[in-house]
Amino acid sequence: MSAPFFKFGLFGENMSLVLAFVIGIGFGFFLERAGFGNGRKLAAQFYFTDMAVVKVMFSAIVTAMIGLFYLGWIGWLDLSLVNMSATFIVPQVIGGLILGVGFVIGGYCPGTSVVAMSTGRIDAMVYLAGILVGVFGFGELFPILGDFYRSTALGQITLPQFFDLPYGLIVFVVILMAIGMFTAAEWGEKKAGGKRVEAK
pLDDT of 198 reads 59
Greatest C-alpha distance within the chain:
53
How high is the pLDDT of residue 21? 94
Note if the bond before 166 is cis, omega within 30 degrees: no
- Please give the span between the terminal C-alpha atoms of the chain, in angstroms, as a whole number: 43
The pLDDT of residue 194 is 57
Q: What pLDDT does 8 receive?
A: 82
Q: What is the pLDDT of residue 122?
A: 94
d(CA 149, CA 146): 5
Mean pLDDT split into 10-residue runs, the chain, 200 residues: 77 90 93 90 88 89 92 88 90 94 90 92 94 94 95 92 92 93 88 64
